[in-house]
Amino acid sequence: MSDMTDDSLRELYQEVILDHSKHPRHFGPLEHATHNAHGYNPLCGDRITVHLVLGADGRIAHIKFEGRGCAISQASASLMTDMLTGRTAAEAEKLMDGFLHLVKGEEGVTGLGDDDLETLQVMAGVSAFPMRVKCATLAWHTMKSALEGGSRSNEPAKTE
Ligand code: ZN
């Protein structure tokens, strides 16, 4: 299953994960968020809050996250905000499912475009570490509950 090519790819992926965890994209609070959710992974102590603005066109206009946790949980959240910005809720759902399959090491990740699959592949190595799977999926589960749960804020979304 693993050969030299897999090993060098794995190293590359580790660099991407480190980069995201050291320099998280879209980190911080988000004004006028239409949807928010908080997630906690007691196994590792990772905490993540996801804020997003769902635009009138049904697309995710902005996503930001806050929280503290291990490198995997932070990198996964950073990667996720990068990927899901500009997607519709349905597209986001599809990516989430694909990601969950991938990090659980399940076969048959279908319905994902090549580019998306390539980006998500970075996290696939996590599947070898069952304890880490919850770290990697925390942000995605939190995103899902944010989309399903809607807003606790009273302010209407502003589209700019
Ligand atoms: Zn963790």
pLDDT in tens, 78-95: 999 999 999 999 999 999
Q: Which amino acid is at 95?
A: L
Ligand 1 centroid–CA 137 distance in Å is: 10
User: Is position 35 within any domain?
Assistant: yes
Q: Is 7 left (phi over 0), alpha (psi -120 to 50) or beta?
A: alpha
CATH (domain of 31): 3.90.1010.10
How far, in Å, is the centroid of ligand 1 from the Cα of 123?
13
Whether residue 152 is contained in a domain is answered as no
Q: What is the rounded average pLDDT of the residues 59-85?
A: 95
Eight-state DSSP code of residue 157: P
Domain count, the chain: 1
153 lies in some domain: no
- Residue range 108-146, pLDDT digits in tens: 666 688 888 888 888 888 888 888 899 999 999 999 999
Q: Is residue 159 part of a domain?
A: no
Please give the distance, rounded to the nearest whole angstrom, from the Cα atom of residue 73 to the centre of ligand 1. 5
- Residue span of the structural domain in which 10 resides: 3-147
Dist. CA 25–CA 27, nearest whole Å: 6
